Chain A
Amino acid sequence: MKDNGTRFAYYCTKIALLRSPTSRVQYGPFLLMHAIKPPPFSHFDEMLAWSEASPGHLQTQFQTQLQHFGGQSQSQSHAKAQTLGARPHYVPYGNWLADTPSTSLTQRRAQADLLFRRIGITFTVYGEEGGTERLIPSDVIPRIITADEWAYLEKGLTQRVTAINKFLADIYHGQAILKAGLIPREQIEGNSQFQTKMVGVKVPHDTYASITGVDIVRNNDGKYYVLEDNLRVPSGVSYMLMNRKMMMRLFPELFLRQTVRPVEHYPALLLQTLRESTDIDNPNVVLLTPGRFNSAYFEHTFLAQQMGVELVEGQDLFVKDDYVYMRTTNGPQRVDVMYRRLDDTFLDPLAFNPDSALGVPGLFQAYAKGNIVICNAIGTGVADDKSIYPYVPDMIKFYLGEEPILNNVQTYQCRKPADLSYVLANMKDLVVKEVHGAGGYGMLVGPAATAKEVADFAVIVKANPSNYIAQPTLSLSSCPTFVEAGIAPRHIDLRPFVLTGREVRMVPGGLTRVALREGSLVVNSSQGGGTKDTWVLGDEVDPVPAAVEGK
């Protein structure tokens, strides 16, 4: 550990040299081994912290650490504020980084790109001719979460998803929460995501959202906030798995320095969850994909293969006497559980969008009769709608009688006159979103917008206020990330995947998305986002064996 400390101090010094106290300067990438650009004071960086401006509940813990290591750099600069160091849980990684020549990193990054391309981990970009296959950039600097933080998040996620499932069962049956007056009835029944056809339909075990992707961010106050609950067909879990696979392949030595909790068993948990969604013994589970032109096609094939289930398209299925069958080389075969990666309205042209060529005619009828389980259930979208989001803390209190563990972001509902006038008056400081929007489209980021863009958006909001909500601009936490000019802080979020079978399960961590453009807060892959491997550390304080660390 002593050796560890010495090298860490060396590392701190190198970073401290980069920092000019008054203004940010451009650093030549060849001056140092890695041109690491420090995060601004106002940001919460997951890896690096200024010794004074270090917010967050980890404060005391890493302040001591920083004082311990801060000595050397203090002598070079008069203000303690100039000391930048890695947070304790990043120390082993920081040491490794300081020891690794940038040529070696560059080589291994190129190797990673090649592997991703070879494995064909691509997504399809729409709007270009015929759709183009692209790689999602995968950054090799991991996002690391401590064991304690994850324990907190896991508890909060379990609570949140449990309450949401109870809410969905309630609004499609007894509607107790509406009767109690906690949510205005028109908010539910007037919502386009509320599927009236689902009222009274029995869903096995009342599990509506079997797979949930909850988007969580950390603000510059150091606290985590839930940004949205994705309850329809959340994607990205394959990138989580591939990032880990790639990191272990390229940097095996890193996994000897720290105990990183594994995520590779996600497909097994998913299969277990899907099998538990029905009461049938040994059910035939399939994964329904819109086909190979869908942007997430790689993920569909990947999960189907990992689970050992058939990957089907709508054309592979048919309904006879209200049972669903797939066409096989052996003749028709019954389907019991369908993990669908297709939106509600495309599932069945007879029940929903009649133009859908992707779905299966008669599927809804079979579903309503209980002859097939569809995961997630039809109509879950009503609970991840941005207009319902503000009520999630109320749901937790109402159904579970507990205080919410995870924070919601304060949300102004433009349908309320008071909120609307506040939003219109403060638009330049707010993020305004369409209630049904997804993928980073149809939103205004006030602080990043021009006066004209703000004025134009105000007109749109005024025309249809109930279609919009607004939230204060969170300063998403950042993490050092490889960019063209070296390593620089970029904003990140986190999407853990929560599985609900007979119990709630999840693998530690999730998908970390990173906004690769400087200053950008939009992490969606369709808008230039990348991903990072997400490490949740094991409980051990210092798992590094001396033999590995010593030189």
Chain B
Amino acid sequence: MLSRVASHLYWMSRYLERSENMARILDVTQSLAMLDRSADSGGAMTPIVITEAQTEFAETKLTATYANVIAFLAWDKKHPSSIRNCIEATRENARAVRGSITSEMWENINDTWILFQEKAKNIDPLMTGNEFFEWVKERSHLFRGVTFATVRRDQPYHFTRLGTFIERADNTARILNVKYAEEAPDTFDEKEVDTETDYYRLSAVLRSVSALEAYRDTYRDVIDARRVAEIMIFDAMLPRSLRYCMDEATKCLDDLPKDSGRIPRRIASEINAKLRYGTVDEVFDYGLKRYLADFLMDMERLGTAVNTAYMELV
């Protein structure tokens, strides 16, 4: 397969996953906003911090209200990771390789882009709500479903999935890092979750990665900060946990040409080993924040290695 095609496919799915994650984060942000009536709490800035968009947001000179932040992250044309730009980038990458994906995949993503433009005309950015976020998630699910159901299990499929899981792992780590590590600092003590607000915050984190039901099934107990970290990092069966994402990414890499993939495969296996054979106690002993920062660095190394191994046009 052409290196350029691999690169477009990989970024196509990374951008689509990014748009979905952004929608998840904003959806949760919005529901938390209903609990958070104090204007100066800084809660509105959380999604900006998670997605590292502080500089871009500062440039808009907007005040950090929930409505402004959501409008900015969903629609802003200048912010590269806004939902709008992620969907456009997905479609442009797909268009560049529309001969290498199935026509169903192309039509689905092209349709998403056309429908998005309709929505852009009809939705007041400041009133962006749950319905829109659900739509973004649904379009992303649809595309993955179409991919799953139509494409041959060959390199294009593996590169597409690799992009999805690298992006997703990165995102889950960021959500944990910001939404949770701040409230549960490294000197974590076994304080009980007793206030209502804490309950909603933690359940919001779980909901943002579709893990609330999984949590209840697994623990059948009150929502506890430590267990939330455990399920999101180590659960082998939760599709958005770090462990699951890295299991899948490792499998994708194993299915790609082995000779050129030595380095990314090694890095992925290293990351994967830490997740397979780690425990939540170790993580808290080491410090959750440090642990997640290390993980994000590892992911960056992996991304660079994937790029060098398969996609660079040397």
Q: How far is the CB of B106 from chain A (nearest CB, A)?
A: 7
Residues in A whose Cβ lies below 8 Å from that of B107: 118-120
User: Of A306-314, A386-394, A499-507, which stretch is located at the interface?
Assistant: A306-314
A24 within 8 A of B: no
A338 within 8 A of B: no
A329 within 8 A of B: yes
B1 within 8 A of A: yes
Name the interface residues of B238-291: CB closer than 8 Å to any CB of A.
256-257, 259-260
User: Known contacts A315-B313, A327-B313, A329-B3; is A120 also within 8 Å of B99 by CB?
Assistant: no
Residues in A whose Cβ lies below 8 Å from that of B103: 119, 305
User: A311 and B99: CB pair below 8 A?
Assistant: yes
B68 within 8 A of A: no
Number of interface residues of B (CB under 8 A): 28
**Closest A residue, CB atoms, query B110:** A120
A91 within 8 A of B: no
User: A312 and B95: CB pair below 8 A?
Assistant: no
User: A329 and B99: CB pair below 8 A?
Assistant: no
User: B106 and A327: CB pair below 8 A?
Assistant: no
Name the interface residues of B100-141: CB closer than 8 Å to any CB of A.
100, 103, 106-107, 110-111, 114
A330 within 8 A of B: yes
User: A316 and B4: CB pair below 8 A?
Assistant: yes
CA distance A327 to B256 in the complex (A): 15
A302 within 8 A of B: yes
User: Known contacts A117-B114, A292-B96, A311-B99; is A330 also within 8 Å of B2 by CB?
Assistant: no
B46 within 8 A of A: no
User: A330 and B260: CB pair below 8 A?
Assistant: yes
User: B4 and A329: CB pair below 8 A?
Assistant: no
A301 within 8 A of B: yes
Q: How far is the CB of A387 from chain B (nearest CB, A)?
A: 37
Contact flags A107-120 to B (C-beta < 8 A → 1, else 0): 00000000001111
B155 within 8 A of A: yes
User: B98 and A305: CB pair below 8 A?
Assistant: yes
Name the interface residues of B33-74: CB closer than 8 Å to any CB of A.
none
Residues in A whose Cβ lies below 8 Å from that of B310: 329
CA distance A330 to B114 in the complex (A): 35
Pick the contact of B2: A292, A301, A310 (CB < 8 A): A310
User: Known contacts A315-B4, A316-B4; is A118 also within 8 Å of B260 by CB?
Assistant: no
Contact flags A129-144 to B (C-beta < 8 A → 1, else 0): 0000000000000000
Pick the contact of A304: B99, B111, B155 (CB < 8 A): B99
CA distance A304 to B311 in the complex (A): 21
**Closest A residue, CB atoms, query B309:** A329
User: A120 and B1: CB pair below 8 A?
Assistant: no
User: A329 and B114: CB pair below 8 A?
Assistant: no
Residues in B whose Cβ lies below 8 Å from that of A330: 1, 257, 259-260
Name the interface residues of A315-340: CB closer than 8 Å to any CB of B.
315-316, 326-331
User: A305 and B257: CB pair below 8 A?
Assistant: no
CA distance A300 to B311 in the complex (A): 22
Pick the contact of A301: B1, B99, B114, B260 (CB < 8 A): B99
Q: How far is the CB of A124 from chain B (nearest CB, A)?
A: 11
**Closest A residue, CB atoms, query B115:** A118
**Closest B residue, CB atoms, query A312:** B2
Pick the contact of A120: B3, B98, B256, B311 (CB < 8 A): B98
Contact flags B71-107 to A (C-beta < 8 A → 1, else 0): 0000000000000000000000001111110010011
Residues in A whose Cβ lies below 8 Å from that of B3: 316, 327-329
Q: How far is the CB of A496 from chain B (nearest CB, A)?
A: 25
Number of interface residues of A (CB under 8 A): 22
CA distance A304 to B310 in the complex (A): 22
**Closest B residue, CB atoms, query A291:** B96
CA distance A107 to B260 in the complex (A): 53
User: Known contacts A305-B99, A312-B2, A316-B3; is A329 also within 8 Å of B313 by CB?
Assistant: no
Residues in B whose Cβ lies below 8 Å from that of A119: 103, 106-107, 110
CA distance A300 to B100 in the complex (A): 12
Pick the contact of A302: B6, B96, B99, B155 (CB < 8 A): B99
Contact flags A278-308 to B (C-beta < 8 A → 1, else 0): 0000000000000010000000111011000
User: A118 and B110: CB pair below 8 A?
Assistant: yes
Residues in A whose Cβ lies below 8 Å from that of B259: 330-331
**Closest B residue, CB atoms, query A287:** B99
User: Known contacts A119-B103, A315-B313; is A329 also within 8 Å of B256 by CB?
Assistant: yes
Residues in A whose Cβ lies below 8 Å from that of B311: 329
User: A329 and B98: CB pair below 8 A?
Assistant: no
Residues in A whose Cβ lies below 8 Å from that of B111: 118
Pick the contact of A326: B2, B6, B98, B314 (CB < 8 A): B2
User: B95 and A292: CB pair below 8 A?
Assistant: yes
Residues in A whose Cβ lies below 8 Å from that of B257: 329-331
CA distance A391 to B98 in the complex (A): 42
Q: How far is the CB of B7 from chain A (nearest CB, A)?
A: 10
Contact flags B1-35 to A (C-beta < 8 A → 1, else 0): 11111100000000000000000000000000000
Pick the contact of B106: A120, A310, A328 (CB < 8 A): A120
**Closest A residue, CB atoms, query B111:** A118
**Closest B residue, CB atoms, query A317:** B2
Residues in A whose Cβ lies below 8 Å from that of B96: 292
Residues in B whose Cβ lies below 8 Å from that of A326: 2
Pick the contact of A329: B1, B97, B106 (CB < 8 A): B1
User: Known contacts A310-B2, A315-B313; is A329 also within 8 Å of B95 by CB?
Assistant: no
**Closest B residue, CB atoms, query A292:** B96
Q: How far is the CB of B10 from chain A (nearest CB, A)?
A: 10
Residues in B whose Cβ lies below 8 Å from that of A316: 2-4, 313
User: B100 and A329: CB pair below 8 A?
Assistant: no
Q: How far is the CB of B152 from chain A (nearest CB, A)?
A: 11
CA distance A401 to B85 in the complex (A): 63
Q: How far is the CB of B113 from chain A (nearest CB, A)?
A: 9
**Closest B residue, CB atoms, query A297:** B95
CA distance A119 to B109 in the complex (A): 10
Q: How far is the CB of B155 from chain A (nearest CB, A)?
A: 6
CA distance A339 to B239 in the complex (A): 43
CA distance A293 to B2 in the complex (A): 19
CA distance A316 to B155 in the complex (A): 17
Residues in B whose Cβ lies below 8 Å from that of A300: 99
**Closest B residue, CB atoms, query A331:** B260
Name the interface residues of A130-182: CB closer than 8 Å to any CB of B.
none
User: A329 and B6: CB pair below 8 A?
Assistant: yes
Interchain Cβ contacts under 8 Å between A and B, 20 examples: A117-B114, A118-B107, A119-B103, A119-B106, A119-B107, A119-B110, A300-B99, A301-B98, A311-B100, A315-B4, A315-B313, A316-B2, A316-B3, A326-B2, A328-B1, A328-B2, A329-B155, A329-B159, A330-B1, A331-B259
The 8 lowest CB-CB distance pairs between A and B, nearest first, are: A305-B99, A301-B99, A304-B99, A329-B310, A330-B257, A311-B99, A327-B3, A301-B98
Q: What 5 new A-B contacts, CB under 8 Å, besides A305-B103, A315-B4, A331-B257?
A: A119-B103, A316-B4, A316-B313, A330-B1, A331-B259
